[in-house]
């Protein structure tokens, strides 16, 4: 199995910092036909949290998200790397990017058996594009 590297828009919204706020928003997205592959929430400050989701691919998914107050996180440029899980993969990718002088804004990875998905966020489109080329070369070998 080959690695699939794709640029993915990340969508973001503020939610209240209460136990059912994320559940309500995710239930509404699901009811609207949205099938998410990435969900990250974090408390921003007392009383509110940020929720990041991806991907939204169809006009209907985008409309549902916008109606729920989500918008594209313009300052986050994200690569999604999906494929085989191999020992040391995260270290190899992080090292290749560091050696190329590319800073990562965020890094999230999960493995399930023989498969893994990694999301790497960058501050600029230029870093995202360079990182995509570097990772394609790295993972081809």
**Secondary-structure class of domain 75-140 per CATH:** alpha beta
Residue ranges of the domains in the chain? 10-72, 75-140
pLDDT digits (tens, 9 = 90+) for 35-45: 999 999 999 88
For domain 10-72, give the CATH superfamily: ACT domain (3.30.70.260)
pLDDT digits (tens, 9 = 90+) for 68-121: 999 999 888 999 999 999 999 999 999 999 999 999 999 999 999 999 999 999
Domain 10-72 identical in fold to domain 75-140: yes
Q: Are 49 and 15 a contacting pair, CB within 8 Å?
A: yes
**25 torsion bin: left (phi>0), alpha (psi -120 to 50), beta (else):** alpha
């Amino acid at each position: 199995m080959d690695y699939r590297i794709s640029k993915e828009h990340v969508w973001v919204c503020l939610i209240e910092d209460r136990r059912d706020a994320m559940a309500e928003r995710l239930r509404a997205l699901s009811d609207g036909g949205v099938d998410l592959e990435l969900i990250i929430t974090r408390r921003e400050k007392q009383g509110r949290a940020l929720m990041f989701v991806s991907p939204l691919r169809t006009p209907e998914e985008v409309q549902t998200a916008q109606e729920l107050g989500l918008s594209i996180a313009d300052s986050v440029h994200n690569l999604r790397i999906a494929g085989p899980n191999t020992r040391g993969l995260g270290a190899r990718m992080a090292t290749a990017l560091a050696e190329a002088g590319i800073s990562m804004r965020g890094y999230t990875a999960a493995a399930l058996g023989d498969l893994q998905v990694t999301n790497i966020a960058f501050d600029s489109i230029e870093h995202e594009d360079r990182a995509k080329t570097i990772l394609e070369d790295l993972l081809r070998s």
